Amino acid sequence: MDRRFAIIRIIAGTAALAFLLAAGRFIEGHAILKESSPAANGTVVGPDVPITLKYNVRVDAGRSKVQLSHPDDSVTDLPLEKQASPDTLSSKATGLTPGAYKIQWQVLAPDGHITRGVVPFAVKAS
């Protein structure tokens, strides 16, 4: 066997092994939420609540998803409105009764990174 190729094989094999051992430790991420309305852990007046999520980068609204988790743990999809700005997602939740809610979002950034998060908030009666 050619010695040079033997070295390459040894190094490639070790690299593959090292990457596999480290596999569980990689974490990815890109788009992060900069501002939200309702604010995280904030309280708003119901029953209709406009929702705005502003990110640090442009997000692809057509391939992103926003859901609302209700006090009874049921989850509904929130339809997204046309983007006012490329870094912002907007929607509106209607008919909310007082209680604890969570906005669950998942966004796609132009580079293909998928990120997600949760914004907990409370609704009080008007």
Partner 1 sequence: MADLLGIFGFLVVLLRAAILCFQTILVGGLIFLSFVASNDTLRPDELTRPAWKFIRWSGVGLALSQLVFLMVNSLVLGGSADISIRAMLGANFAIAGIVAIVASLAVALWPARLQKSLNRAVLVPAILILASSVVTSHSFSRMEGRAVLVGLTSLHYLATASWIGGLPYLLLTMKRISEEGIRIRISQRFSRLAQVSVAVLFLAGLGMSLVFVGSWSALYGTAYGIMVGTKVVLFCCLLLLGAANYFIVRGVGAASTSGSTSLIRFGEVEIGIGLTVILAAASLTSQPPGADLTEDRVSLHEIAVRYAPRMPRLTSPPLGDLSPASKELERKAKLAGVKVPAAFMPGESFSHPDTPGDIAWSEYNHSWAGLIVFFMGLLALLSHNRYFSWAKVWPLMFLGLAVFLFLRADPENWPLGPNGFWASFREADVLQHRAAVLLIIVFALFQWAVETNRVKSHAAALVFPGVCAIGGIVLLTHMHAVTNIKQEMLVELSHTPLAIFGIIAGWARWLELRLPQENNSRKYLAWVWPVCFIFVGLILMDYHEA
Cα distance between residue 97 and residue 45, in whole Å? 9
Of 40, 52, 60, 81, the one binding partner 1 (CB under 8 A) is 60
Q: Phi, psi (5° rounding) for residue 106? A: -140, 125
- If you ran DSSP here, which 8-state letter would residue 73 be given? S
Of 53, 78, 115, 121, the one binding partner 1 (CB under 8 A) is 115
Query: Within positions 27 to 56, which residues make up the interface with partner 1, using CB under 8 A?
Result: 27-32, 34, 56
Of 91, 109, 122, 125, the one binding partner 1 (CB under 8 A) is 109
122: region left, alpha or beta (phi > 0 left; psi from -120 to 50 alpha)? beta
Is 70 a binding residue for partner 1 by CB under 8 A? The answer is no
Sheet containing 33-37, strands listed edge to edge, beginning at the edge strand earlier in sequence: 33-37, 49-55, 88-93
Of residues 8 and 45, the one with the C-beta less far from partner 1: 8
Write down the least CB distance from residue 105 to partner 1, Å: 10
Is 106 a binding residue for partner 1 by CB under 8 A? The answer is yes
Is 117 a binding residue for partner 1 by CB under 8 A? The answer is yes
